[in-house]
Amino acid sequence: MASWRLDDKVAIVTGAGNGLGKEYALYLASLGAKVVVNDLGSSTTGSGSSSSAADAVVNDIKQAGGEAVANYDSVVEGEKIVQTAINTYGRVDIVINNAGILRDVSFKRMSEKDWEAVYQVHLKGAFKVTRAAWPHMETNGYGRIVNITSPVGLYGNFGQANYVAMKRALVGFTLTLALEGAKKQIKANVVAPYAASRMSKTVMSSEMLEALPAAPVAKFIAFLCHEKCPESGGIFELGGNWVSKVRLQRSRGVQFRDGFDLEDISAHFKEICDFGEGSEFPTEGMSGMGHAMAARQKRPDGKTEAKL
Ligand code: NAI
């Protein structure tokens, strides 16, 4: 067990005053990490602020013999949160972008305010905290970033166009951080949890909430934060005692050697969407380019225009 400790590591957990973030902060601290417990102390929809949520978690950590410091800034002021880590502990090794709010409403009723508020906390906040921590991680040649998405951020959900958009954006953000951080031993992964919290109470039944404690999610997060974590750029979906990895799949597709018109698309649509034989699990942004170029190169008459 000793080898899974996080002694001497400094972790920032955003939105750590409640729910899952609190569980992450407590667990990382129990493994020896020094934790910046960030929390604005807002409601589930983002209104209000209070220092008491972060203070209570810092208190719990200290009572248990751990080390922690509170920070009450909004994640959109990420540089201040990172500064708290630097001022208090002199470094930052781990960032968990967990702070979150909901402004659920059907799309036709969604105001720009609903969109903007969710953008600010989930996406801009993750950018600001990570951007401020990044140079410190590069200098140290070590970093672990865990972004918190949501299963609905992977698959979509009615009434959450704002939240789903930002959560999905965090997946793309993570994939790119993993690429750019590789040389400096900075690893970035993204986690879609299912767990009981004041937020999930608004969307889950009491039976679901009972079956989904936050503690197992915290353990997996700690694994991703550890120096022995083998993974970067991973998308994980988990809850209860279930942990899984998610990836994108691309069908083999159809090469229309002589271009195509709408009728051709209609005739081959089933084939275009067929994930059977020849489908792939691409991991690189330009990996489809070869397929896209192939038809052009192979045209015997030299023509490249589609019929359309
Ligand atoms: P929660 O509402 O219990 O905790 C969120 C915390 O974030 C609160 O303490 C709040 O004060 C803080 N916060 C909000 N805005 C902030 C800001 N601007 N700056 C700093 N702190 C801020 O919610 P929960 O369920 O613990 O969610 C944590 C994360 O996990 C969120 O990103 C959420 O979207 C995500 N998530 C949770 C799921 C669940 O099953 N509970 C499912 C999927 C994703």
- With a 6 Å cutoff on the Cβ, whether 125 touches ligand 1 is yes
Q: Assess whether 163 carries a catalytic annotation.
A: yes
Instruction: Give yes or no for residue 304 having a pLDDT over 80.
Output: no
Quote the CATH superfamily of domain 2-246: NAD(P)-binding Rossmann-like Domain (3.40.50.720)
Point out the least confidently predicted range of 58-67, 102-111, 160-169, 284-293: 284-293
Q: Tell me the pLDDT tens digit for each residue of 190-215.
A: 999 999 998 888 888 999 999 999 99
The predicted pLDDT at position 166 comes to: 98
Instruction: Give yes or no for residue 98 having a pLDDT over 90.
Output: yes
48 band by pLDDT with thresholds 50, 70 and 90: very high
The predicted pLDDT at position 200 comes to: 87
Q: Tell me the pLDDT tens digit for each residue of 219-241.
A: 999 999 999 999 999 999 999 99
Angle at 166 between CA 249 and CA 44, to 5 degrees: 130
302 band by pLDDT with thresholds 50, 70 and 90: low
**Cα 243 to averaged position of ligand 1 atoms, centre (Å):** 20
**242: amino acid identity, one letter:** W
Question: Hey, where are the domains in the chain?
Answer: 2-246, 262-306
ipTM > 0.90 (yes/no):
yes
**Cα 256 to averaged position of ligand 1 atoms, centre (Å):** 47
Instruction: Give this prediction's pTM.
Output: 0.95
The predicted pLDDT at position 199 comes to: 86
Residues 71-83, mean pLDDT to the nearest whole number: 98
Q: Tell me the pLDDT tens digit for each residue of 119-164.
A: 999 999 999 999 999 999 999 999 999 999 999 999 999 999 999 9
The predicted pLDDT at position 296 comes to: 63
What whole-number percentage of the chain has pLDDT above 90? 89
244 band by pLDDT with thresholds 50, 70 and 90: very high
Q: Which of 24, 89, 163, 194 is catalytic?
A: 163
- With a 6 Å cutoff on the Cβ, whether 75 touches ligand 1 is yes
Instruction: Give yes or no for residue 1 having a pLDDT over 90.
Output: no
Atom of ligand 1 nearest to the CA of 121: 18
- With a 6 Å cutoff on the Cβ, whether 177 touches ligand 1 is no
How many whole angstroms separate alpha carbon 308 and alpha carbon 57? 61
Test site for ligand 1: of 42, 57, 103, most ligand atoms within 8 A of the Cβ: 42
**Cα 142 to averaged position of ligand 1 atoms, centre (Å):** 26
What whole-number percentage of the chain has pLDDT above 70? 95
CB neighbour list of residue 239: distance below 8 Å, 6 or more residues apart: 193, 194, 195, 212, 216, 217
Using H for helix, E for strand and C for coil, what is the string for the chain?
A: CHHHCCCCCEEEECCCCCHHHHHHHHHHHHCCCEEEEECCCCCCCCCCCCCHHHHHHHHHHHHCCCEEEEECCCHHHHHHHHHHHHHHHCCCCEEEECCCCCCCCCHHHCCHHHHHHHHHHHHHHHHHHHHHHHHHHHHHCCEEEEEECCHHHHHCCCCCHHHHHHHHHHHHHHHHHHHHHHHHCEEEEEEEEECCCCCHHHCCCHHHHHHCCCHHHHHHHHHHHCCCCCCCCCEEEEECCEEEEECCCECCCCCCCCCCCHHHHHHHHHHHCCCCCCCECCCCCCCCHHHHHHHHHHCCCCCCCCCC
37 band by pLDDT with thresholds 50, 70 and 90: very high
Tokens 């410091």, residue?
A: 69
The predicted pLDDT at position 86 comes to: 98
Point out the least confidently predicted range of 101-115, 117-131, 277-291: 277-291
The predicted pLDDT at position 242 comes to: 97
